[in-house]
Amino acid sequence: MPIDELDTVLFGGAAVLLAAILAVRLSVGVGLPSLLVYLGIGIALGESVIGIQFDDAGLAHALGFAALVLILAEGGLTTRWHDVRPAMGLGILLATVGVAVSIALVAVPAHYLLGLNWQFAVLLGAVTSPTDAAAVFSVLRQLPLRPTVRGALEAESGLNDAPTVLLVTLISSGAVTEQPPVVIGLIIVGELALGVVFGLLVGWLGGRVLAGAALPSSGLYPLAVLSMALLAYGGAALLHGSGFAAVYVAALVLGNTELPHRNATRSFAEGVGWLAQIGLFVMLGLLASPGRLTWWHVWTGLAAGALLTFLVRPVSVFVCARWFGMPLREQLFLGWAGLRGAVPIVLTTIPLSAGVPSAEDLFDIVFVLVVVYTLLQGPTLPWVASVLGVATPGSPREIEVEAAPLERVSAELLDFQVPPTSRLHGVEVGELRLPRETSVSLVVRDGKPFVPERSTRILRGDALLIVTPRTVRQATEERMQAVSRYGRLAGWRRGLP
């Protein structure tokens, strides 16, 4: 590429990125998933408006998968295990059985009522069944949901890409018609199992390596953690396992391992995730062509979306959630909160790049479906959560903890940020009852640091710098979290440390 063209590309790319970042504020303010804004930017840049030509399905497929890998890595690294653990069983069931139920309930009506051939109908059901990790992580984490509801949605969106990608690939290649359904099912289960095991192994080994490594710069830790997650994807794929399952599981393990600069790593992962989302959605907007749409595409997309949103998704949730005794209100919210986003559109690039007949029609139908029903569902989620009683406004947030290693004394410096709703407010330093070897060395209040006394009262918004030996770090964090949740009497009232 000539240097002049490179300059133009860098200038244009930076301008688009800045515009997309500023658009986040707008989308959050009106309650819309940011993907719609990014898709709009891509369409505006495309052939219908500014005139940039982009129709390389193979490149879109490769770049889309790369972006999804980064988005899943960010999702795993920023997901708290204690939030998703109670709902992990339901999340796994929704990501497997729920997807299978959804595909069947979309494909049969699409064939008999909409007149689509079986391959097209099954592909339509497959690409629209998974929820979108980017949409779920960016929208639902802004809502104060009950832990079981939030955990189920995050686990489902992080895990359901893997089986769906395998199935869409098999259908597009024609392998489904060459093997009995039992064999296809065993192939999918085997690749998923291999991906999960490989992800667990990489996450466990990577966590122990990084926990004991004293890297010369704090900025290297986020890069190393993200590289470990990507290593899990590539390794699992080379072994013919599910790379998507591997990257999410490895990132989930790494994100919940006691690593140095854990919060910095999460912040870095969020930045990479945003960058991947922006690039992915703008690219998909470029790939779309509004001038290609016909009334048939619009009608089919609206009909399939209505079927999926109002019937198929609630039924698949009910089939899975009934085994866990989940209240009906939470089931209804899970049914409404099954956000579709980039994932269905990216999945349509698989048959596009494979040259499947009518794959372009599938892309256009799914594009209409995603845009219309994201506009319908995204802004209404806070209202639906409030009406169904699954929101928990005013609940205290977890206090944020950052750790930096102090190698010479085998200790760590913990940076506790006290959130506005924390019950640490008003507690004296001496009332924290931290382990004897631990010391609150500094309090930063309104930007001004000072050394506290035992009678110093902690206030909302304070930052506490606490030095603790590694041997009692976990006990220190648990005690601080307990006081943040339940106040100075946490040990007697809740039986906590």
pLDDT at 180: 77
β-strands 448-450, 439-445 pairing: antiparallel
Alpha helices in 355-472 (DSSP H): 359-377, 381-388
Greatest mean pLDDT among 46-50, 372-376, 394-398, 451-455: 451-455
Q: What is the pLDDT of residues 125-156, one digit of tens each?
A: 999 998 877 777 666 666 777 778 888 888 88
pLDDT at 332: 92
pLDDT at 353: 86
Contacts of 493 (CB under 8 A, 6+ apart): 486, 487
Distance CA 383, CA 385 (A): 5
Pull the structure tokens for residue 321: 């959630």
- Per the prediction, the chain carries an average pLDDT of 83
Query: Above 50 in pLDDT, residue 495?
Result: no
pLDDT at 311: 93
Residue with tokens 């409030």: 386
pLDDT at 25: 63
8 Å CB contact between 412 and 404: yes
pLDDT at 186: 84
Pull the structure tokens for residue 147: 């832990």
Q: What is the pLDDT of residues 270-325, one digit of tens each?
A: 888 888 888 888 888 888 877 788 899 999 999 999 999 999 999 999 999 988 88
8 Å CB contact between 80 and 142: no
pLDDT at 322: 86
Pull the structure tokens for residue 280: 């992915």
Among the residue ranges 1-5, 47-51, 81-85, 224-228, the one predicted with the least confidence is 1-5
Query: Above 90 in pLDDT, residue 344?
Result: no
**Residue 249: exposure state from Cβ atoms within 10 A (0-12, 13-18, ≥19):** buried
C-beta contacts of 410-414 below 8 A and 24+ residues apart: 410/469, 410/470, 410/471, 411/467, 411/468, 411/469, 411/470, 412/260, 412/467, 412/468, 412/469, 412/470, 412/473, 413/465, 413/466, 413/467, 414/464, 414/465, 414/466, 414/467, 414/468, 414/473, 414/476, 414/477
CATH code of 9-186+255-388, in short, is: 1.20.1530.20
8 Å CB contact between 136 and 154: yes
8 Å CB contact between 211 and 265: no
Largest CA-CA distance found in the chain, in angstroms, rounded: 76
Please, which pLDDT band fits residue 49 given cuts at 50, 70 and 90?
confident
Please, which pLDDT band fits residue 451 given cuts at 50, 70 and 90?
very high
**Residue 252: exposure state from Cβ atoms within 10 A (0-12, 13-18, ≥19):** buried
pLDDT at 19: 75
Distance CA 21, CA 13 (A): 12
What mean pLDDT do residues 404-422 have?
A: 76
The strands making up 400-406's β-sheet, listed across from edge to edge, are 400-406, 411-417, 463-469, 439-445, 448-450
pLDDT at 253: 92
Q: Where is 415: in which H helix or E strand?
A: strand 411-417
What's the helix, strand, coil split of the chain in %, to 5?
70, 5, 25
pLDDT at 29: 54
More confident residue, 11 or 110: 110
Greatest mean pLDDT among 8-22, 51-65, 105-119: 105-119
Query: Above 80 in pLDDT, residue 241?
Result: yes
pLDDT at 319: 92
**Residue 302: exposure state from Cβ atoms within 10 A (0-12, 13-18, ≥19):** middle
Could you tell me how far CA 437 lies from the centroid of its own chain?
38
pLDDT at 398: 54
Per-domain residue ranges of the chain: 9-186+255-388, 400-493
Residue with tokens 């972006």: 67
Q: Specify the fold of 400-493.
A: Alpha-Beta Plaits (3.30.70)
pLDDT at 156: 86
pLDDT at 478: 85
pLDDT at 496: 43
More confident residue, 184 or 477: 477
